[in-house]
Amino acid sequence: MSKPMTKTQLVAAVAEAMGSDRKTASSALDAVAAVVAKEVASGGAVALPGLGKVVCKARPERQVRNPATGETMTKPADKQVKFAIAKTLKDLANG
């Protein structure tokens, strides 16, 4: 498995795909990340066409077990960010 693309590499690839400079591509990437983060943090969901959907789901209070001690304890309710991959991307990855 190869190393994941770094932000610098992603910015360069986006700049090339846009036919723009790296500063503009970096600003666009940062803006998209900020919008997605703001929407998900407020409990919403964002569909990224061709990639998938980012959604924040609430998890209720539940009983969990400490594997080291075997002790059962109550874990408070929290939120979890999920990413559901789009079918088109799955199909592309599986060739």
Rounded mean pLDDT, 42-67 = 93
Task: Report the distance separating Cα 68 and Cα 63, nearest Å.
Answer: 16
Rounded mean pLDDT, 49-76 = 93
For the chain, what are the domain ranges? Answer: 7-93
Rounded mean pLDDT, 52-59 = 93
Residue 1 has pLDDT above 80, yes or no: no
Q: What is the CATH number of domain 7-93?
A: 4.10.520.10
Contact status, residue 10 vs residue 18, Cβ threshold 8 Å: no
Amino acid at 11: V
pLDDT band at residue 95, thresholds of 50, 70 and 90? confident
Contact status, residue 24 vs residue 18, Cβ threshold 8 Å: yes
Percent of the chain clearing pLDDT 70 (strictly above): 99
Q: How far, in whole angstroms, is CA 4 from its chain's centroid?
A: 14
Amino acid at 37: A
Cα–Cα distance list, 4 to 1, 7, 8, 9, 10 (Å): 9, 10, 11, 10, 10
Strand partners of residue 46:
54
